[in-house]
Amino acid sequence: MSLTDALDIRAGENAHLILRRATVLDPVAGIDAVHDVVVRDGEVAGLAGPGEADAEGAEVVAAEGLHAFPAFFDPHVHLRTPGHEHKEDVETGTRAAAAGGYCGILAMANTQPPVSTAADVSALREQARAGASVTVGFLATVTKAMAGSELTEMVELREAGAVGFSDDGLPITDAGVMRRALQYQHLCGGNIALHEEDPRLSRDGAMHEGPVSAALGVAGIPSVSESTMVARDAALAGYENARIHVQHLSAAESVEAVRAAKAAGVMISAEASPHHLCLTDEAVRSLDPHRAKMNPPLREERDRQALIEGLRDGTVECIATDHAPHQPEEKDVPFEQAAMGVTGLETAFAALHTELVLPGVIDLSLLVERLAGGAAPFDLERPTLAPGSEANVVLCDLGAEWTVGEDGYESRSANSWCADQTLTGRVLMTVAAGQVAFRLRSFSLGVAA
């Protein structure tokens, strides 16, 4: 299904744009050339030769030297509504997404109260139609109140429009409950996204267990807390011929478990977050709760390398930010007491471009592909620039340097893991479902001149 068929966005005017002489890169569609990108009537109307598109009635964007990609899709965002609107809501969260080059996101269900009934889903969809800058889909919880013991009314939730299911924030520790959910998937459909963690192994851990936690005296969360649960659920999914999506992989052993499951034919997909791809537990040495406290925790260099290898060989098909807004009072406390999570929507592309593409660790085309790879696991059409497809386009300046947070954030929260860092590569404009969702202010002024 296309994003607009399955997800919700505020109704608005379709853009009529020409991105003149943009360098167009869509690795999946096999496009890598300079074109005039024509956006009209909600579609990529065409890719004309450079300078050839008819400007009649269109806004022309001078895009020479700039890159146009299929806009990104994030299957893992915390919009914090209902219940924690002081951290984020549909409007601010989707603005942040648009500023990061995303045309669509999936919102997690661990709100207050959790999204567990058809009425919850309907109310959120209505909010999205009223105020979302990009397309939004909502997941519902797998278990009632995320208590891990009884399944939600999954058929009714799907009928109300839940894109899939997740108890993210908490694992489903009871293997029997997990198995029932997988069996029930044959009736209700919808992928099940899993936060993999064995709380009996992670206990009161606040960071990765290893030499750094030993030095800091902070209780550790061992890698096997994640990887044993990935292996368990892969086995259950294989046994029930059901489908799972593993969220925020962090450990080398987990990547290996997903790889082995895929090789065995299990229907399993996986995501990794920008912070796990860029940082290790060395970042925790400072005990700075603002940037380095999240769950799963930042792990070691070997884990980071395993995630990168997973991106390369397709074990990890998508990058998901796990955008988790928090207010300063939850972070201005000692590390172990601080809330888990960092924001990431506005910086994902720039951070990964700076940390992985510029040093030559991965190709630009792989990054672009994986940043839009989060749609397919949820039966959504991958954003593409192929003519005739829904217009989901991001325009980037790969040479632009900027400092994270210098102009504030679109998100209501400022707990960015890369705050104050200077990054190279900047989103200038985002088109989501045919509408202009974001323009960088300074860039717009430049165009007018």
Partner 1 sequence: MKHLLSIEQLSRGEIEAILDRAESFAEVGRRDIKKVPTLRGRTVVSLFYESSTRTSSSFDLAAKRLSADLISVKAAGSSVEKGESLKDTVATLSAYDPAAIVIRHPYAGAAQMVAGWTPAAVVNAGDGKHEHPSQALLDVYTLRRRLGSLEGIRIWIVGDVLHSRVARSNLIAFARMGAEVTVCGPPTLIPRGIEELGCEVSYSLDGVEEAEVVYALRMQQERMSESFVPSLREYAANFQIDTRRLNPRQLLMHPGPVNRGVELSGEAIDSPQSLIAEQVAAGLVVRMAILYELLAGGEGGKTANQGEGSQPTPIGTPA
What does the binding site for partner 1 look like in residue numbers (CB under 8 A)? 209-220, 222, 287, 289, 329, 332-337
Q: Which is nearer to partner 1, 332 or 363 (CB)?
A: 332
* Alpha carbons 81 and 78: distance in angstroms, whole number: 8
Q: Which residues of 317-345 are buried (b: 16+ CB within 10 A; e: fewer)?
A: bbbbbbbbbbbeebbeeebbebbbbbbbb
Q: How far is the CB of 342 from partner 1 (least distance, A)?
A: 17
CB 142 within 8 Å of CB 421:
no
> Can you read off the two tokens belonging to residue 378?
């949820």
Shorter beta-carbon distance to partner 1: residue 310 or 341? 341
- Cβ closest to partner 1, residue 201 vs residue 235: 201
Residue 60 CB, nearest approach to partner 1 (Å): 50
110 burial class (0-12, 13-18, 19+ CB within 10 angstroms)?
Answer: buried
CB 417, CB 404: distance < 8 Å: no
Token pair 């549909």 in the structure block, residue: 90
Q: How far is the CB of 333 from partner 1 (least distance, A)?
A: 6
Q: Which is nearer to partner 1, 217 or 388 (CB)?
A: 217
Shortest Cβ 250–partner 1 spacing (Å): 17
Nearest to 97 by CA among 137, 38, 68: 137
Q: Closest distance between partner 1 and the C-beta of residue 407, in Å?
A: 25
CB of 340 to partner 1, least distance (A): 15
Of 228 and 347, which has the nearer Cβ to partner 1? 228
Residue 448: phi, psi to the nearest 5?
-65, -30
State the DSSP H helix or E strand holding residue 422, giving kind and residue range, or none if neither.
strand 422-432
328 cis-preceded (ω within 30 degrees of 0) = no
Beta-sheet strand order (sheet of 318-319):
72-77, 102-107, 135-140, 164-166, 191-194, 243-246, 267-272, 318-319
> What DSSP line would sit under 268-314, residue for residue?
EEEEE-HHHHH--GGGGTT--HHHH--SSPP--HHHHHHHHHHHHHT
Catalytic residues: 322
Based on CB atoms, which residue is closest to partner 1, 53 or 251?
251
Tell me the residue length of the chain. 449
Backbone angles phi, psi at 308, to 5 degrees: -65, -40
Tokens representing 244 are 């799972």
